[in-house]
Structure 1
């Protein structure tokens, strides 16, 4: 680096955005700055580090080898600075803050009925804004800073995203009991048509993966993003629903039978995930603790 005096914290924030977006206009939008201002900042960064940092590639701008080597240290440095800024004690009784969370209606049903009475009593100025995103979109939103916390199952979590386990969950099968024969084995299961719950159409979930490992596929006739309504669609049909057991706590339809899956379906980890740059955020840490305590 040739000119340390030419570098300030604002330039490092611009560099972080440029490294993440790899596009000057998108970095400008992310920073709420003009494109010329970001271009000028990139010129200063190139001069300070004596490296182009971003160069033209086949798919747009790409990081140079120097930039790729610098990125982890840059992320850690800015996370530390942000931690200093927001490390003051969080007083939930006096706080006025909105937390942005991504979770499905399954997660909302499992967590919010326990969490909200606690928040209303201990932190009346705290508000929650809930969004529903696919797993991939939730991880991208954490990285981009568009949400504070993601709750769900994230097997492909980016390295910069941290997580803590909330609970482990099992799948069960729901069928109309009048359609049950003397057995409910794998052959009976595969002979039925299926209801599948998923945010992304055509995306193979844990059930599809387990069935495919046995050399089979399911005949899915309905895919929907809502866990809560799915059990209501089974009564009076020959359909089978394979669903997380916690989503059935309020099931009141006497026509339905809940059965173990007739093949091995591993339990899955339900976690809360956040970007590691937010490790020093006392308010977010407090919210994570409340979620863990209110299960």
Structure 2
């Protein structure tokens, strides 16, 4: 094994995340020339170009992509091994990464940011969207936590209950059906805005990783069951990729959409939409917090896990 300065691996790990010499230098407190020099030394030591400059920034080579998860995991384990066991949130500059969808970003993350501003003002929070390799990201320590509606997970994961919500139908305030209970036939008289399934979560199911998560709010199944029982069908007006797009369309049309209650209440405060309870039995939706069990022994990860669960309980 060549004698490689560990600081070179820190530069490599940061470049793999940022894909930019400038941004990597800013995160590491180094100049652009220092980052470039470190990359040159690492290229020589490993005998590979590692990164190629292109229109999208620094693109990793196949060798860099292969090395990335292992280097990141090794650096994380080393950091955990030498870190002081008396973790102090008030002084930590730790970077925490949470995978969360638009719902959690609107309802949970703002309160988390408030809590961190008080208890850990120097910590860094990164929020990322779900990807097909989210389990691989957890294993490689590139992601610390995942928030989602989890159906099942492999034994190495801790799955903690985080918060519960219900689904409601929303229509614009000027809709003739607004302000009164809506029956199934009245609901089906409207066109619907459907939030499409997340391709990454569909791919995750097909990949047989052992991690199963709901891919959309309508994936819960209660509405489909109600339609099947009644022998009725609905009219889909628009298919959109996210909840906020659905809300924007509902506020400017006579369509209806099915979304979580807390998210609907945030929009209802502006007076654009009104809520209607489903005219059929609908189970609550449960969001969970995922993390690797063996990482909960890290004082920083354990503290952040506790904070996330506390914020979920407050919500």
- TM-score band, normalised by shorter chain: 0.5 to 0.7
In structure 2, which of residues 69, 92, 108 is the aligned counterpart of residue 30 of structure 1? 69
Match of 1:273 in 2: 290
- Shift of the alpha carbon at 1:28? 4.8
Matched, 1:261 2:284: no
Per-residue deviation at 1:169? 0.6
TM-superposed deviation, 1:218: 4.8
Query: What displacement does 1:288 show?
Result: 1.6
C-alpha distance in structure 1 between counterparts of 2:89 and 2:197, whole Å: 33
| Shift, 1:196, TM fit | 2.8
CA separation of 1:110 and 1:155: change in aligned 2, threshold 3 A: same
Question: Which residue is equivalent to 2:198?
Answer: 200
Distance 2:138 2:70 in 1: 16
Q: CA deviation at 1:114?
A: 1.7
- How far off its partner does 1:206 sit? 4.6
Q: Matches of 2:233 and 2:154 in 1, distance apart?
A: 29
Shift, 1:271, TM fit: 1.5
Is 1:290 matched up with 2:291? no
Which residue number in structure 1 is paired with residue 243 of structure 2? 227
1:195-252 deviation per Cα after TM superposition (whole angstroms, max 9, x unaligned): 2335615966352422333326654443334334432321342211110011123324
- Alignment correspondent of 2:170: 174
Aligned to 1:95: 92
Aligned equivalents of 1:218, 1:206: Cα separation in 2: 17
The yes-or-no answer on 1:119 pairing with 2:116 is yes
Among 238, 241, 245, the residue aligned to 2:261: 245
How big is the alpha-carbon RMSD for the aligned residues of Structure 1 and Structure 2? 3.3
Give how far 1:97 is off. 0.9
Counterpart of 1:211? 223
The 1-side partners of 2:120 and 2:68 are apart by 33
- Counterpart residue number, 2:125: 128
**CA distance in structure 1 between the partners assigned to 2:68 and 2:121 by the alignment:** 33
Higher mean alpha-carbon deviation, 182-191 vs 114-123, is at 182-191
May I ask how many residue pairs the two structures share in their alignment?
226
TM-score by length of 2: 0.61
Match of 1:153 in 2: 149
Q: Whole-Å Cα distance in 2 between the matches of residues 250 and 183 of structure 1? A: 20
For structure 2, the 5+ residue unaligned runs are: 1-62, 203-214
- Quick one: distance in 2 between partners of 1:85 and 1:96? 15
Report the Cα distance in structure 2 between the residues aligned to 1:221 and 1:138, rounded to whole angstroms.
32
Go from structure 1 to structure 2 and tell me whether the alpha carbon gap of 1:178 and 1:273 turns closer, same or farther (over 3 Å shift). same
Q: Report the TM-score, using the length of structure 1 for normalisation.
A: 0.65
Counterpart-to-counterpart distance in 1, 2:136 and 2:185 = 39
Q: What displacement does 1:142 show?
A: 1.9
User: Secondary structure at the residue paired with 1:96?
Assistant: coil
Distance 1:148 1:268, change over 3 A: same
1:140-169 alpha-carbon deviations (Å, 9 max, x no partner): 432343211011211132222112112111
Query: Residues 171 and 244 of structure 1 are in contact (CA less than 8 Å); yes or no, is this contact kept in structure 2?
Result: yes
How many angstroms apart in 1 are the aligned matches of 2:251 and 2:159? Answer: 37
The 8 Å contact of residues 96 and 126 in structure 2, kept in 1 or not, is answered as yes
Distance between the aligned counterparts of 2:283 and 2:304, measured in 1? 29
Contact 1:211 1:217 in 2 (8 A): no
